Structure 1
Amino acid sequence: MSAAGIPQLDEASKKELEVFLEQEQAKAKLQASIHELTNTCWNTCITGSISSKFSKTEAQCLENCVDRFLDSSLFIVKQIEAQKQQL
């Protein structure tokens, strides 16, 4: 064990840990995006009092909001991937 109490890892274990951390970071980013989406669309579209059903206009607004949010996110991801390929 090292001085910090963490055992030294072989290369395979380091790679496995790195992949695990990347996956967990991706999950956290997805959860943050969903939270942002929910907040933005709710605040934009829900204008009346809360009931058991959304009004027709609220439902349409939510659908459009989610579609635009996903379109924007996909566009950004594609742009980032294109920039990575250029490097």
Structure 2
Amino acid sequence: MENSPEMQRFLQQEQQRAMIGETVSKLTSVCWDKCITSTPGSKFSSGESTCLANCAQRFLDMSVIIAKRFEMQ
């Protein structure tokens, strides 16, 4: 089986897509559990919206910090 540069790029892109999907799933789960305390209606309360936005931002900030740490090693 040939390991062409195109195949390697394709595999790398697919790995990145999978990691992004996992991150979004984890982010959704963690922030939902933290911020949504009751069954939501047709829209989130202002407190829930603020909590979700802050939670997502902190989660993404930490993901960037962790990724940079791995790059340095």
TM-score by length of 2: 0.91
C-alpha separation between the residues in 1 aligned to 2:58 and 2:23?
Answer: 13
Distance 1:21 1:64 in 2: 33
Report the number of matched residues: 73
Large movers: runs of 4+ above 4 Å: none
Structure 2 gaps, min length 5: none
Counterparts of residues 72-87 of structure 1 (less than 5 Å): 72-83=62-73
Counterpart CA distance in 1 for 2:38 and 2:46 is 12
CA distance in 1, matches of 2:24, 2:53: 14
Flag structure 1 segments of 5+ consecutive residues without an equivalent.
Answer: 1-7
* CA RMSD, Structure 1 to Structure 2 (Å): 1.2
Aligned counterparts of 1:49 and 1:67: Cα–Cα separation in 2: 23
> Scaled by the length of structure 1, what TM-score is found?
0.78
CA positional deviation for 1:38: 0.4
Among all aligned residue pairs of Structure 1 and Structure 2, give the percentage whose two residues are the same amino acid: 44
Distance 2:37 2:53 in 1: 15
